[in-house]
Amino acid sequence: MDPWSWICELLEAPEFVESESHAAFQLASDLTRSIQLKAEWESGSDPESHSLTFKVIVEGFNRLKTSTIWVSDTCPLSSEKPFLPLVLHLLRELISHSPTTRDTASTKSELLEVKPGPVSWVMDSHSPESFSSVFNLILLTRLFWLCVFDAPSEVGSFFFQHLLGPNLNALTCQHAPVLRTFLVSIGVDAELCIIRAASYVLSKWMISKEVGLGNLGLKQLSCSLLPRQSLGFSYATEAHGLWILKGYFPISSMNVTNSNSDEIHNKIVKFPFVEPKEAVLRYALAHQQAEVIVQFEYSVRFHEHYIKVNARVDNIRIHVSKLGFNKGGVGVENQIADCYSEEKYFPSRVRVWVGPEVGSSHVSGLSLGRSTKNEEREIEVTRVLKGNFGKGKVAPRVKARARMSTKRKIKDWRIEQESERNAAVFDAVLYDRESGGEVTTVKPNQEGLKNVFTKSGGMVFGRDEYGDEVGWRVGREMEGSVLKWRMGGKIWLTYWPNKLNTLFYETRCVEWCDEVDLPLLPTS
């Protein structure tokens, strides 16, 4: 699917300009039905007032009264950037449909006035083939609401099968550097709205896979299923002395590492399906997303015989957002939000790493900045006492027994530095106070998780938590070159019942990595 290249070529097609009629791009079709993007020529009184209008047309559906379900703003052909209004129009509508959370509700109205400057710069600095990844993301996300929410159900089913499934990779950052550039350029507020909107679409698609939409006529949908860890947004960038690694992953795209689902299902003999309350709970939980930002502060120092590259954790921020559920709203989903508003995943382990690219022979001498912390233990031992009373063989013998107990002092989070080959690893593990085990592997104990997270259920690790900086030594002969430096993250999220009386609990995990450029240039 490459509608953007088709749009850019419209003005170079003589048959289209001379006919002053319309042209259509087939987004999806089968033998009788189709979804099209149509361009219509609008003539003015003089050549300077000629323009184009784009429409989304659906054809062949029985219950649809009209075939046009969307019309764009007018694109003046006399402008230097005639198709910029089309992109801005789609962006504004995408942001307006983005799932609203408490922290974005107040800023969404301001974001609807998308600044054209950054968008125009990305369009100008990349070829139509490159910018297609950005346009496909915007268009596909907007089409989701048009076809699934604003059209009859048969149009939504057709969209899932023939348009969303085959083009699902358009909703990720995989192999699309220009998409990363675009997200950075438009600012973090607009970026978050766009990603949450696309993640909502991904969540709905994965839910449809879980409930078996293939039985409803979408059997080909499974053929286009990407690996779960590909269904998310992640990228790395450098800014003002910081290496920044971002990751946005819908809960359903994360791999399950610990759960009691099998235990629950094995107890249900007569009815081999999930009980209704748990099914609704899982549906609500599937509309959540892990949002992770890792920042490393780095520096490059030149010495007589070597170059020293230093890095330290500036901060790690983990937030679990709810996609599309607002307490007190209307509709079925918001009714579910009222009942399940307190049920949420929380971060239970964080593992991030940073280091040179694999196989770098010119980098060595990794130095860590924190020693392993030995935990203080209090151990109480009671002996077994045995004694005989009386002189005869039949005299009673009394035994005194006592239970041996061990007391252990631990923190909720245990934070460590490690090394893996030539990379520095920063690990933070949440422990259960009652059992002393890792939360990612034990059964729920809600009493042990009081006052561990922020009010929104997230977690922030500052630079004071991870100790001093780590460093690598690079040969002086590498001065003036540009090295590749890699960063990665692995995040565990756990669900334990809060207000709901259910046996269900689970832990999910996702891992990703990326790289940035590190110029070895001495400053004045």
Q: What is the pLDDT of residues 406-423, one digit of tens each?
A: 555 556 888 888 888 889
- Rounded mean pLDDT, 73-77: 86
Residue 212 zone, left/alpha/beta (φ > 0; ψ -120 to 50; rest): left
Percent of the chain with pLDDT over 70: 76
Q: Are strands 51-59 and 482-495 parallel, antiparallel or unpaired?
A: unpaired
CA–CA gap between residue 66 and residue 69 (Å, rounded): 8
Return the pLDDT at 336: 72
| Distance in angstroms (rounded) separating the CA atoms of residues 211 and 222 | 12
- Tell me whether strands 75-76 and 397-400 are parallel, antiparallel or unpaired: unpaired
As a whole number, mean pLDDT of residues 157-171 equals 89
Task: Taking residues 154-160, report their average pLDDT.
Answer: 91
256-294 pLDDT, tens digit per residue, is 988 776 554 444 433 344 567 788 888 889 999 999 999
pTM over 0.75: yes
pLDDT of residue 71: 93
Q: Tell me the average pLDDT of the chain.
A: 80
DSSP per-residue codes, 171-216: GS-TT-HHHHHHHHHT-HHHHHHHHHHHHHHHHHHHHHHHTTGGGG
Residue 396 has pLDDT above 50, yes or no: yes
Whether 454 shows a pLDDT value over 90: the answer reads no
Q: Which residues pair with 58 in a beta bridge?
A: 35
Is the pLDDT at 493 greater than 70, yes or no? yes
pLDDT at 409: 58
- Residue 216 pLDDT: 35
**Most confidently predicted of 20-34, 248-262, 428-442, 487-501:** 487-501
pLDDT band at 74, cuts 50/70/90?
confident
Strand pairing class (363-367; 255-259): unpaired
pLDDT, position 11: 74
pLDDT of residue 75: 86
**DSSP H or E segment with residue 423:** strand 423-430
